[in-house]
Structure 1
Amino acid sequence: MASLNKALLQTPATFLIARRFRGKINIQRPRKPHFEKQLLLDITKPIYGTPRSQLPEYVFCDFDKSKNVKKEIDNPFERILARECLDWFNTSKMVVFLHMNSISMEDKTPIFAALKKNNLHLRTYGKKIVSMATTGTRYEVVNQLFTSHQNIIFGQPNKADTMFKILKKAPQLVVMAGIVEDRFMSKNELVEFSKLPNLDVARSQLCNVLQSAGSCLVNQLNQNQQILVSHLDKHIELQKAPQNEEICDSKESS
């Protein structure tokens, strides 16, 4: 048995056993740490501010919003586009603003070609370009129609009916308003304007109205004279009638 115990691995016996003073740690009233340790604890102590939800509203008034404002960069190409847009406004007697829904380029290209063929020019400008072009001009009111990129048709007033016929093929392009001869019109007013005849027909109709008014006036002025003449003729006929009867009676008696 003794030889067996020597063959097995024996556990060494410890001579010193570590034990805390008084057995337990005083958590409720711990002992004050050493000065250096206390200094290290004070330095590394995290600082937590008041939660944002508990802060008053006036604290957030000092927020510097200028840091988040994007600086506008002077782009020469945008100035060129704005000058081109203003030239279109000044040279076109009819300007129509469109709202474009989702449309593919395959559907838009035939509409663009048909408008171009009839001397109607479809252009696309952004809000910034139109604002640069129209600010300080008589067209400044159109900035309210723009929220992003917008389609505009530039042309002449006599092509209004043709424009509506072409736009019927593309329901994605919706007419919002327009400017005709320096007059701002709604969609309904544009539709009524497109139904009006051209200038030559209107002139001929005006001439007919003026001529009919003149002829009517002449007839009214001559009506009393004609009635008087007819009455005189009738009176003469009545006076001659007894004489004719007397002549006829004398002939019969003879």
Structure 2
Amino acid sequence: MALANRALLQTTAPLLLSRRFRGKINVQKPRKPHFGRQILIDISKPYFGPPKSMLPEIMTCEKVKDTMAKKEIDNPFERILANECLNWFNTSKMVVFLHVNSISMEDKTPIFAALKKNNMHLRTYGKKIVSMATKGTRYDAVNQLFTSHQNIIFGQPENAAKMFKILKKTPQLIVMAGIIQDKLLSKNDLVEFSKLPSLDVARSQLCSILQSAGSCLVGQLNQNQQMLVSCIEKHIEIQSNPTPEDYTTYIKVES
């Protein structure tokens, strides 16, 4: 039995032995790495810069750094955007400022299209652009509403109700304030203004009120004359065809 177990459990020696480097590692002259690995090594190589003693004095002076940091660079593109923003303020009778929470462009695009369809335009401007556009103008007070990039709706006052109906679908866009006819209004004032009828409807209501008052006055002035004319006509009729019944009716009318 022991001989059988030895024959069955006996392990044979492997014919091949794997070695990692097939020999000693060359430390003095290592082999060049792969091209992709070499790129990663070059990118991740730390850069400490030249020593401070090698730099010129203008680079080590702290006062010069402060003045260089505070110096503003004139950007022509910012001036173009500021002129465009001021033009929107001057040509739009209704300007609404929005606070924007986190919203994707996919959700924002339908709102932009709906406002555009109703003759309203949604624009995004930063604090610096709005400050350049409104500084020294009658819109200077709106700079307090800006902390960073915000959205502004430009349109006409008669579209205020449509604007609130469109913005109701997106709670991420919150109305803060607005300007209507060169007057700064809060959100509650804008909601009350949107509930008012249009200018044509208000004019028609005013005309109907004025016309009803005039017609009532004319009716009251002509009432006595009409009664007198009717009595005279009745009297002439009785005189031409006298009957006992007509005479009794005529007496009752005169009394």
Give distance in 2, aligned partners of 1:75 and 1:97.
Answer: 25
Give distance in 1, aligned partners of 2:228 and 2:101.
Answer: 74
Give distance in 1, aligned partners of 2:66 and 2:153.
Answer: 40
Q: Which residue of 2 aligns with 1:214?
A: 214
What does residue range 45-194 of structure 1 map to in structure 2 within 5 Å?
67=66, 70-194=70-194
Q: Residues 199-239 of structure 1, C-alpha deviation per residue, up to 9 Å, x if partnerless?
A: 322222121111111112223333455677789999xxxxx
Q: Which residue of 2 aligns with 1:204?
A: 204
How many residues matched?
A: 177
What does residue range 5-16 of structure 1 map to in structure 2 within 5 Å?
none
Give distance in 2, aligned partners of 1:227 and 1:165.
Answer: 56
Contiguous gaps of at least 5 residues in structure 1: 1-63, 235-243, 246-254
Give distance in 1, aligned partners of 2:191 and 2:103.
Answer: 23
Runs of 4+ more than 4 Å apart: 223-234
Q: Residues 159-184 of structure 1, C-alpha deviation per residue, up to 9 Å, x if partnerless?
A: 11111110000011111111112122
- 1:101 CA displacement: 1.1
What does residue range 207-246 of structure 1 map to in structure 2 within 5 Å?
207-223=207-223
Give distance in 1, aligned partners of 2:201 and 2:151.
Answer: 32
Supply the AA of the counterpart residue of 1:220. Q
Equivalent residue of 2:137, what SS?
coil
Give distance in 1, aligned partners of 2:180 and 2:97.
Answer: 12
Give distance in 2, aligned partners of 1:186 and 1:213.
Answer: 37
Contiguous gaps of at least 5 residues in structure 2: 1-62, 235-243, 246-255
Identify the range of structure 1 (69-78 vs 92-101) with the bigger mean alpha-carbon deviation: 69-78
Give distance in 2, aligned partners of 1:99 and 1:73.
Answer: 29
Quote the RMSD (CA, aligned, Å). 3.0
- 1:70 CA displacement: 2.6
Give distance in 2, aligned partners of 1:231 and 1:131.
Answer: 80
Give distance in 2, aligned partners of 1:228 and 1:148.
Answer: 79
- 1:117 CA displacement: 1.5
